[in-house]
Structures are given as structure tokens and as C-alpha cells.
Amino acid sequence: MSTAPAPSPGGYELLESTTPYRGKIISVRRDIVRMPDGSSTQRDVIVHPGAVGVVALDDEGRIMMIRQYRHPVRAALWELPAGLLDVAGEPASRAAARELAEEAGLTARDWDVLVDVYSSPGMTDEAYRVFLARGIGEVPPEFGYVRTDEEAELVGEWVPLAVAVARVFAGRIVNGLATAGILAAAHARADDFAGLRPVSAPWPARPAHAG
């Protein structure tokens, strides 16, 4: 437990912090915060390691999408290759390349940052960075990855980017990371990929504890 006051933007002050739950991936932190008017209130925060996603765009204008079961919503969702920032010290771009290889069996020659997002800042510090990967190749069979748990049933499909955008607006793609990545990729492609950030670009949204 931490009881030392900590300054926060806008006159908010952290008075006390405890962690009543620590799970396999997330924790729940309970903060007591002094508000600008002098009153105090409790804020429960889901602490998350952060994540990365990849829009793998091939020379035909298609992106790789995967269908994966997600237990909290009891549904199989169409998503982008993605994963947690759960390896200490691993750069986000390297984590993205690893996830692309593991989930889709693909490599990429060229990498750029598409978009950075806080998933739900009213309740969690979860942040994710979505990369654009081009110059796509296949992982050699001898370096293949054995999938486990939900990933064992993972299905991949190449989808034209315009079709993916249409599926977003039709409500057929509802994963937040995928929606942000697909729409950002469509915008970037329409702008001839001008203004994309390098993989070394600062990441203001990344949780301090991630990686």
C-alpha cells in the first residue's frame, strides 16, 4: 500500500493506493483521489500491461485478419494479429513482429506506427499501439509456432482492406483494436501513407509498467 500523496494533472492528488486483486494478466488497483474541490473519492483501476496489433497489408491491398474466441464476450471475433506487452524490456515493434509470426505465420520488411489508443480510460490504463506492416512474407516452416489455448482454434483470412472497412461499418468487426487499425490503415493508404510515424516514435499512451 502506498499512502504518500502524488501529484496529478488538473489538481487531482493520489492519497492512497492498494491492489486488492492480482490476476494472471490484469490487476485491480483501488485509488483514493483528492478532487480539485478538496473532496476525496475512490477510483478502481484495471491495470493492464498494454498491447500491440498489426495491420499486415500485402501487395494486393489485402490485410490479414484472424478469427479467435474471446471468453469475456462468449464469441469468436474477427481481429488483427495482436498480443500483450508481457515480455519485460521488449520493444513494442518487436512484440508486434512476434505476434504476427506466431498468430499469422507472417513476416514483414517495412514497419510504421498507425495509431495509439487508450482502450477505455475511464476504467483501465490499457493502451495499445497498432502498426502497419508491409513487404509481407511467410515464416519458414522450421520456425513455425505451436498455438495453445484459444489460439489453437485460430483461423486466418486475407481480406481486401475496403471490405474490412465495410465490415466495420456493418457491425461485423467489433474488436476495438481491429476497428482502430483498419480505419487508420484505410486513411493512411488513401493519403499514400504520408505522415506515418516510425516504430521508434514516442508512445505517450503506453502504461509506465508495460514491457
Q: Which residues are known to be catalytic?
A: 151
Q: From the CB of residue 149, how many other CB atoms can be counted at a distance below 10 Å?
A: 9
* Cα separation values, 53 from 1, 83, 158, Å: 33, 7, 16
Strand 127-138 vs strand 51-56: parallel, antiparallel, or unpaired?
parallel
CA distances from 172 to 42, 57, 68, 146, 169 (A): 37, 20, 14, 28, 8
For residue 187, count other CB atoms closer than 10 A to its CB: 14
Residue type for position 163: V
**CB–CB of 205/118 below 8 Å?**
yes
CB 54 within 8 A of CB 100: yes
Question: 10 in helix, strand or coil?
Answer: helix
Q: Identify which of 83, 17, 81 has the alpha carbon closest to the alpha carbon of residue 50.
A: 83
